[in-house]
Structure 1
Amino acid sequence: MRLLKKMLRSTAVRSLICRLASCYMRFASWTTRWEIVGEEHPRRHWDNGQPFLGCFWHGRMMLVAPTWPREIPVEVLISRHGDGRFISTVISHLGMGTIEGSTSRGAVTALRGVIRTLRSGRIVAITPDGPRGPRMRAAGGLVLAAAVARVPVIPVSAAISHCQVLRSWDRFILPLPFGRGVIVWGEPILLPSSTDHDTLETGRLAIETALNRLSAEADRRMGHTPIEPAPLPHKAPELEPAP
């Protein structure tokens, strides 16, 4: 066990693991027959060079990330945890950039980074229930960032026929190769520029509802029972960057 921990602390070993993880994600994606539903929604923004805030649930990260078009630049919000740095390295091999956010210092740094990136004309992707959950419940900071930057939120979800659903807090989906998959894009959600609490909460619920509807649709298309969100918390979570 000590030897294993020592090996995992090695930069070379961690780099190799990250490379292998990204290769597996690409292999599973390449050997899957994908159907894309609603691609016209992000396509209008991609073709016109217009930024938007994309969002998908934390548990579907290994499905969405490798299927993102490599020719479309995107920055993903990732935490500064050790796990976050691991994921940041993995997705860098998939051609994605990252925005670092610190959960230990709160959400201010992450929020500013997202707004700054959107205002520069780049697309940002967020897992609004990461890194700790509750599962499939959207954080309020997602709405605040989109409202301040004045960009739409476009939800996306995915499912795959051959997979393992882990017993983690997010019901993380591990894709298996040689199956079928579906990517389901939702319509852009336009948010008022107002940042008062009631307006932000209305927007948060709209995004959460859309994401859960898309996820259930994707699961049903692949013949799976839809994964259920966690029970409603007493208070909506603040912005927490993924991992």
Structure 2
Amino acid sequence: MSRTAVSAPGKRRDRRLKSFWKRVRRPLAESRFVKGAIASLFTQAMRFIRLTNPAVAGSIVFAGSRYEDLEPGIIALWHGQHILLPAFYPSRTPLVAMVSRSADAEINALVIEKFGIESVRGSGGRSDTRQMDKGGAKALIALKKSLMSGKNVCMIADIPHGTPRESGMGVVLLAKLSGRPIFPGALATSRRKVIEKSWDKTTINLPFGRSAIAVGEPIFVPADADETEMENKRRELTAELNSATAKAYRLVDER
């Protein structure tokens, strides 16, 4: 019997499975029940990872620290390194997080809400704030109102599918508009899986290890900052975020 004849039934089966998946994928993606169930599974997994990764010496404790004295503030993180933050959020101050408006990010919004974190849908990275769309501008206004009401906010600093670990202007602009400090933060666990092919080196945190949170020097942006100073603050934020990230990984990897 030829190899082609043997493999033909398998190919037909694969085509039928792909056709079936295409038919059910959209209804599943639009089902609130399915999305809620997936979000619940992620939430429980994150709590389990948090429980099985005790903090190492040197990990930041907000209570009674200078960071707590400066709250409310803007917590800035890198893409791909932020996934577990809702389970590890260290402050007692209520938190509002910016989440992408994409359909894929809807489950992210559901997950963080299960941790008691409010979400604002928008895109705030932006290399040039003059090109910010209407949705992004509305999101920044909502985040500013949250800060004014005494809540911390969280934003991802680098631009989706841009240069990883290079801050955009969105966080800097919010700091300028609100007068509140930026807290450049990072979270790391000793057991992790890095998806090397992802643009941002997405890191999946695993259970049964050690954890650390590191925060860089708070960054203030003057209300009258011009373009040159804004660019300097953007570079400062990039440097502080990279420094905090390196420190968090150093803390969990040291034995």
Fold match by TM threshold 0.5: yes
1:120-131 matches, cutoff 5 A: 120-131=149-160
Letter in 2 for 1:205: R
User: What is the SS of the residue equivalent to 1:189?
Assistant: coil
Instruction: Report whether the alignment pairs 1:223 with 2:237.
Output: no
| Higher-RCO chain (CA-CA 8 Å, sequence separation at least 6) | 1
Which one has a larger percent helix, Structure 1 or Structure 2?
Answer: 2
Is the contact between residue 102 and residue 109 of structure 1 (CA under 8 Å) also seen in structure 2? no
Asked if the contact 2:78/2:158 (under 8 Å) is kept, the reply is yes
Alignment partner of 1:95: what SS?
coil
Aligned residue type for 1:197 = E
**8 Å Cα contact 2:82-2:187 kept in structure 1:** no
What's 1:23 paired with?
A: 44
Q: Which residue of 1 aligns with 2:61?
A: 39
Letter in 1 for 2:93: I
- Alignment match, 1:183: 213
Q: From the CA coordinates, give the structure whose radius of gyration is larger.
A: 2
Structure 1 residues 195 and 113, CA, compared in 2 at 3 Å: closer, same or farther?
farther
Structure 1 residue runs of 5 or longer lacking an equivalent are 225-243
Deviation at 1:186, TM superposition (A): 1.7
- Does the 8 A contact of 1:41 with 1:186 survive in 2? no
Deviation at 1:81, TM superposition (A): 1.2
Deviations 1:196-238, CA, capped at 9 Å, x for gaps:
11011111111110001111122233339xxxxxxxxxxxxxx
Deviations 1:170-202 (A, max 9, x none): 111111111111111222112222231101111
The answer for the alignment partner of 1:238 in structure 2 is none
Structure 1 residue 164: Cα displacement: 0.8
Instruction: Please list, as runs of the form range in 1=range in 2, the aligned pairs for 1:1-243 lying within 5 A after superposition.
Output: 1=21, 2-35=23-56, 36-39=58-61, 43-46=65-68, 50-69=71-90, 71-101=92-122, 105=134, 107-166=136-195, 167-223=197-253
**Where does the alignment leave 5 or more consecutive residues of structure 2 unmatched?**
1-20, 125-132
Partners of 1:37 and 1:185 within 8 A in 2: no
Shift of residue 34, structure 1, vs aligned partner: 1.3
Q: Which residue of 1 aligns with 2:128?
A: none
Deviation at 1:109, TM superposition (A): 1.7
| Shift, 1:70, TM fit | 7.0
| TM-score where L is the length of structure 2 | 0.79
Q: 1:123 to 1:42 in 2, by over 3 A?
A: farther
The percent identity for this pair of structures is: 30
Q: Distance in 2 between matches of 1:38 and 1:16?
A: 33
- What is the Cα deviation at residue 38 of structure 1? 3.9
| Paired residues of 1:74 and 1:124 also in contact (CA < 8 A) | yes
Root-mean-square deviation (Å): 2.3
* Aligned length in residues: 223
Distance 1:135 1:32 in 2: 26
How far apart are the structure 2 equivalents of 1:18 and 1:42? 33
Q: Structure 1-normalised TM-score?
A: 0.83
